Structure 1
C-alpha cells in the first residue's frame, strides 16, 4: 500500500492520493482558513469508515435492510511530551431500517474484534469502544 502527498499552497495544505487516484485534502487545524481535515481527524475517519464497511457487508450478507448508516467517532487525547496522541476512541453507529439488534451487535463485535484493520492497528495503544443505535433518527 502506498500514498503520495503534495503540498498545494505556501502553508500546510496537502493533497493525499491513494493508488485509486482518489484524493483527500489535509491541512493544519491551527490555520486561520482550514481547507482540509487534520491528520488526527483522518485517524478517526479511518476507524469509522473501516468499521462501517465491515458492518454494512456483514449486515447485507444477513439480509438486513439498512436505510440509513451514520457514524460518530470521538477521540480523547492526552499530553505526551510535545504531542497529543489518542488515549481512547468511541464509535457510535446509528442504523435505521429493518435490522435485528442482535445481528447489528454481532456485526459490530466482529468488525472491532476481527476484521477492521484500522482499529486493530490501535490495539496496543488506544482503547476503542463502540455502541449501536437502531431506528433512532439523528
Structure 2
C-alpha cells in the first residue's frame, strides 16, 4: 500500500492510473515527496481508499486528496511454458505484431525483467501463428 495525492475529481476507489513522472510545478512543491515521491514512473496504480484530507494544488483545479494505492494485477501474454499458476517468474515480453494485441503483449505498468507472480490463467490468445497464455500477474510478490 502506497500513500499519494491525486486530483480531487479523480479520487475515487477503483480508479486506475499510470504515473508518467512529475510535472514541472511538482518539482518545487512542498508536497512532492508524498505526492509523486512514492510513485514509480511507468507503473500502474489503483486507488483502494480515499482519505478525508485535501491540499491545495496548482495542477488539479485547486485541490488534491490523500489516497491509498496498490499496483493492481495486469493481464499479459506469456509463453505457455512459463505460464504456471502461482509461479514467480522474470517477465519476458512475447513478440506479437498484431496492433490489437499490443497492449496484451507489452502492457503499460510492467517492464521486461520485472519479477511477477502469476495469479490467474485467463485464457489462450493466438498471434502470428503462435499460441500464448493470457495471464494475470502481480509485480514483486
TM-score category, normalised to shorter length: under 0.3
Higher-helix-fraction structure: 1
- Which structure carries more relative contact order (alpha carbon 8 Å, separation 6+)? 2
TM-score (norm 1): 0.28
Higher-strand-fraction structure: 2
TM-score (norm 2): 0.28
